[in-house]
Amino acid sequence: MSSQRSSFTGKIGFVLAAAGSAVGLGNIWRFPYLAAKYGGGIFLLTYLVLAITFGFTLMIAEIAIGRKTKLSAIGAFKALDKRFTFVGVLGAIIPIIILPYYAVIGGWVMKYFAGFASGATEQMADGNYFSNFIGSVGEPIFWFALFIAITAIVVFFGVEKGVEKVSKIMMPVLIAMILFIAIYVICTMDGALDGVIYYLKPDFSNFSVMTVVAAMGQLFYSMSLAMGIMITYGSYMKKDISIEKSTRQIEWFDTGVAFLAGLMIIPAVFAFSGGDAAALGQGPGLMFVTLPQVFNTMPAGSVIGAVFFIMVFFAALSSSISLMETIVSILMDKTKLNRRASCLIVLGGALLLGLPSSLGYSAWSSVKIIGMQFLDFFDFASNSVLMPIVALITCIFVGYILKPKAVIEEVEVNGKFKSKGLFTVMIRYVAPVFLLVILTSSILSAFGIIKI
């Protein structure tokens, strides 16, 4: 792969490609339901603090490692220190776990687009519509297979650039729409203001270790960190682009979209449930239950719903492409298989691994792994276990083996590294200790050993 390593043409090219990978279902679907579930304002605050400290530190480290070595994750760790090759390998497992269940949800998004486009708005606004849909066997599998097949076709033909262009146009429109829906909900619906308060005002009595565990996992997930993706992107980055500035931009952009998505969904949940707290804990279905109800009250709701879901589809597609591309390129590097064979293998594997996540809501709903459904389990295994492990070892590696100086030098290739002090303290002391605590508590609580 290194032989055909291309460069991003300019700063905007890098920022947009990284943002295309970062902004996706994590922002629009996952962030709002976690914020609703784990305490509203206090979750938001925790997330923001973590983003400007942890997120910033890790992203800088990953991009710098990539640009320094000009290699993707496994090769990069190997080149820097052979003993740490396993971190690259561990990181490479994460996209393999995420991609299949990501495609299951991508399939739900397509189904909702099709539903609104065919004018079934009223039916979709019914509270039981979503659970009936995912509770059936065939349809969700059909949409999941379609989503993963589209991803594979794009990766196979190498036309990511085309999708990137489309998402570049779609992204600003999507943001404008989210803002419009948020304003519509807040201004026209009774009870929505209570939701705004719940979302914005930190209530410290809602705080628990789980708030931090969830916010941390979400941070890695949303910013595509701790799995080697940013290392790969960094390896394509030219030397005359500021790593520090680009990192800040990607972070703000990603966090901004997530923030607005929460502002759109949480007040709507309050308005429709009459402030019933149980409605906040709905989990993965939140977006699919609440938004159709909003669209149903709007004039031309079917059109707005269809346009909204097709844009979410494109945001999801640009992320799933980056997931699949990572897996395919590792496979090509390691096995010398060609792109076509690699794509087919990844497609087949993702289909197989995604099935349990889809069936977990229907035929296999009685099967539980440590008390979780398949989709939740995969989500937990990647976000709350593997990613903190990879992040922890990355911090130890950069902090004590490679030394922060190496990263700082890479960042300073073009200008001063303003947050150098923050970076050094975070990567050596704060991040490793914190990650260790988080990791231990999330594992212990999953096995029911402690309650957090």
Residues near ligand PHE (CB under 6 A): 21-22, 24-27, 95, 98, 221-222, 224, 227, 229, 319, 322-323
Q: Cα(272)–Cα(194) distance, rounded to whole angstroms?
A: 12
Distance in Å, CB of 352 to ligand PHE, minimum: 20
Nearer to ligand PHE, 271 or 325 (CB): 325
Distance in Å, CB of 275 to ligand PHE, minimum: 29
Mind giving me the DSSP string for 156-182? HHT-HHHHHHHHHHHHHHHHHHHHHHH
Nearer to ligand PHE, 23 or 294 (CB): 23
Distance in Å, CB of 26 to ligand PHE, minimum: 2
Describe the chain by its helix, strand, coil percentages, rounded to 5: 80, 0, 20
Alpha helix positions (H), 38-128: 41-50, 56-69, 73-80, 85-117, 121-124
Distance in Å, CB of 325 to ligand PHE, minimum: 10
Nearer to ligand PHE, 50 or 227 (CB): 227
Phi, psi of 2 (to 5 degrees): -65, -25
- Up-side HSE of residue 63: CA atoms within 13 Å toward CB? 26
Count of Cβ atoms closer than 10 Å to residue 180 Cβ: 13
Nearer to ligand PHE, 25 or 189 (CB): 25
Distance in Å, CB of 133 to ligand PHE, minimum: 21
Nearer to ligand PHE, 211 or 222 (CB): 222
Nearer to ligand PHE, 31 or 198 (CB): 31
Alpha-carbon dihedral sign for residues 292, 294, 300, 306 = negative
Over the range 127-164, which residues count as b (16 or more CB within 10 Å of their CB) and which as e? eebbeebbeeeebbbebbbbbbebbbebbbeeebeebb
Distance in Å, CB of 37 to ligand PHE, minimum: 17
Residue 327 structure tokens: 């897996």
What three-state secondary structure class fits 446? helix
Residue 249 near residue 83 (C-beta atoms within 8 A) = no
Nearer to ligand PHE, 244 or 325 (CB): 325
Distance in Å, CB of 145 to ligand PHE, minimum: 20
Residue 29 structure tokens: 């679907």
Distance in Å, CB of 105 to ligand PHE, minimum: 9
Q: Cα(136)–Cα(225) distance, rounded to whole angstroms?
A: 34
What three-state secondary structure class fits 230? helix
Distance in Å, CB of 377 to ligand PHE, minimum: 17
Question: Which segments within 271-323 are labelled E, that is strand?
Answer: none
Count of Cβ atoms closer than 10 Å to residue 166 Cβ: 14
Q: Cα(122)–Cα(448) distance, rounded to whole angstroms?
A: 42
Nearer to ligand PHE, 263 or 323 (CB): 323
Distance in Å, CB of 173 to ligand PHE, minimum: 18
Nearer to ligand PHE, 266 or 324 (CB): 324
Nearer to ligand PHE, 26 or 404 (CB): 26
Q: Cα(354)–Cα(352) distance, rounded to whole angstroms?
A: 6
